[in-house]
């Protein structure tokens, strides 16, 4: 379905033929893990180095705070059985996805902001490289999210840290610890004695001795060497779809995010000819960040046209956001 994959594969092949070191970047080691209902393949763990496609640079990184909105697409039969970027055979009926920079594998929660349907997917491939798309999901993922017939959807993509760290260990052939499993540690002995309250202080009432405080039982680490969770177990029950409340959304082109308001205003002035421009202040920790956005835009077609125009005006990292 997507025309960028043949271009990407040809691009990588050309680099290898030229004898450049990037060939090593395409080499991964495949692992197989037995999953629920059959064999579920888990490819090698891979983050990767910066790479360039069609003039745009991408910077893979471990980002356990990743939480973005944008447009998702899907890919299916044309790629079924072909090798993914981390060494698996692509299965259009599995719950997987392609992302440009997140570690492979990692687990993300994808929510369709148009109908509220939400599922977990395992990132095992790179893409999409079409401008204005943030995620490519498998055909089955698109079916469960409810956008297989329309081709695209407004989505929120959130990385799930615990599951992502576990599946990364699984891909590296390392022991995987169940969520929250820690070695039991006996509580330290504590002696108590009554202390007189300082003058003027209010003294809390003594708890009713008939009421017992629930004490959490110690958790003993699972024998991870013998019973590690599988990739399927990390994703949860197959075809399980949650439905969450959603509200109407708008499409914007975000040209950039700036730490200095003066830079945001300068960019805003440059974009005045592309439509309504707004500067949105958000907090990045305790540091203010100023996002420059064009919109709202009426349709995805208008958003795609505006994105191409903004990128061509000197903002190649501009992206479509949903808000």
Domain co-membership, 8 together with 143: yes
Domain co-membership, 31 together with 131: yes
Q: What is the mean pLDDT of residues 111-137?
A: 96
Structure tokens at 69: 């909105």
Specify if 39 maps to a domain.
yes
Whether residue 182 has pLDDT greater than 50: no
Burial of 212 from C-beta contacts in 10 A (0-12 / 13-18 / 19+): exposed
Please confirm whether the linkage preceding 128 is cis (ω < 30° from 0). yes
| Residue scoring higher pLDDT (309 or 42) | 309
Specify if 18 maps to a domain.
yes
Specify if 260 maps to a domain.
yes
Q: What is the mean pLDDT of residues 112-134?
A: 96
Domain co-membership, 238 together with 309: no
Taking only the tens place, the pLDDT of each residue in 232-270 is 788 877 778 999 999 999 999 999 999 999 999 999 999
Domain co-membership, 159 together with 260: no
Please confirm whether the linkage preceding 296 is cis (ω < 30° from 0). yes
Whether residue 39 has pLDDT greater than 90: no
Whether residue 29 has pLDDT greater than 50: no
How many beta carbons lie within 10 A of that of residue 175, not counting itself? 13
Domain co-membership, 236 together with 304: no
Q: What is the mean pLDDT of residues 287-313?
A: 96
Domain co-membership, 18 together with 112: yes
What's the domain count of the chain?
2
Pairing of strands 106-112, 38-42: unpaired
Mean pLDDT computed over every residue of the chain:
79
Specify if 185 maps to a domain.
no
What is the span of the domain harbouring residue 55?
Answer: 4-171+231-243
The domain boundary, picked from 217, 243, 269, lies at 243
Query: Which is nearest to 126 in space by CA: 90, 158, 159, 94?
Result: 90
């Amino acid at each position: 379905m997507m025309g960028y994959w043949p271009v990407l594969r040809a691009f990588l092949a050309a680099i290898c033929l030229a004898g450049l070191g990037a060939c090593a970047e395409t080499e991964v080691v495949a692992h197989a893990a037995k999953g629920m209902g059959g064999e579920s393949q888990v490819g090698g763990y891979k983050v990767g180095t910066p790479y360039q496609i069609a003039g745009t640079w991408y910077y893979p990184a471990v980002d356990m705070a990743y939480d973005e909105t944008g447009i998702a697409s899907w890919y299916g039969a044309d790629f079924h059985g072909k090798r993914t970027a981390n060494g698996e055979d692509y299965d259009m009926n599995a719950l997987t996805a392609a992302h440009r920079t997140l570690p492979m594998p990692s687990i993300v929660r994808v929510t369709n902001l148009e109908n509220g349907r939400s599922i977990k997917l395992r990132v095992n491939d790179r893409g999409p490289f079409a401008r204005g798309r943030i995620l490519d999901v498998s055909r089955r993922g698109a079916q469960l999210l409810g956008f297989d017939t329309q081709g695209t959807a407004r989505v929120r993509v959130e990385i799930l840290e615990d599951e992502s760290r576990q599946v990364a260990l699984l891909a590296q052939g390392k022991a995987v610890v169940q969520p929250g499993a820690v070695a039991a540690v006996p509580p330290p002995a504590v002696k108590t004695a009554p202390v007189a309250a300082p003058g003027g202080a209010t003294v809390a009432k003594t708890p009713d001795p008939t009421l017992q405080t629930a004490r959490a039982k110690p958790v003993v680490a699972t024998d991870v060497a013998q019973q590690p969770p599988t990739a399927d177990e990390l994703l949860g029950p197959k075809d399980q779809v949650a439905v969450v409340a959603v509200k109407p959304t708008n499409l914007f082109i975000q040209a950039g995010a700036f730490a200095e308001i003066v830079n945001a205003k300068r960019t805003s002035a440059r974009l005045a000819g592309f439509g309504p421009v707004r500067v949105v202040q958000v907090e990045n920790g305790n540091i203010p960040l100023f996002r420059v956005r064009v919109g709202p835009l009426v349709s995805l077609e208008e958003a795609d046209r505006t994105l191409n125009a903004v990128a061509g005006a000197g903002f190649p990292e501009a992206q479509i956001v949903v808000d």
